[in-house]
Amino acid sequence: MENILDFLRTDTYIYILTGVVLLLLILYIANFIKLRKLRKSYKEFMIKLGNGQSIDETLQKHIESVYETRENLKEMNKYCEVIDKNMKKCLQKVGLVRYNAFQDTGSDLSFALAILDSTNDGVVLNGIFSREMSNIYAKSIQGGKAQNTLSEEEKEALEIAINSK
């Protein structure tokens, strides 16, 4: 132990210690210079990446855009829900049967047309054509059932409409 204390009191120890401190100082300065160059290079890279703007500003604008898009998407989803709700009330099922109402006419100029919504509410139109006149009759449909008596052609058109998708 005494040998160590004697060594610590010598000039050699002080020279070694001074050399180590100088070496650490040189390494510190070299690292500081490298770090400055790296920071400068990083800033230049970020500016080039951001097309002349800071990449942080560009990312912030992008994040704001994403939030704005998210809000717009929420509004569009609400709007689509309203449209879907209203679509159920729209006439969307159709059934058409053409027929010859009278033997003296040449072709199937008369028709039965059923138009229904998604709950099978709607109307059956029957157009009867003859040489002297043409008439159209409408019959109300509720839940796939007619309020009035239907002809065979009207029943067929109603079945076609109910089974259509």
Q: Where are the alpha helices (DSSP H) in 101-148?
A: none
Tell me the C-alpha distance between 64 and 87, whole Å.
34
**What is the per-residue pLDDT for 66?**
96
Tell me the C-alpha distance between 38 and 41, whole Å.
5
Global pTM value: 0.54
pLDDT in tens, 90-146: 888 999 999 888 776 667 888 999 999 988 999 999 998 877 888 999 999 999 899
- pLDDT above 80 for 153: yes
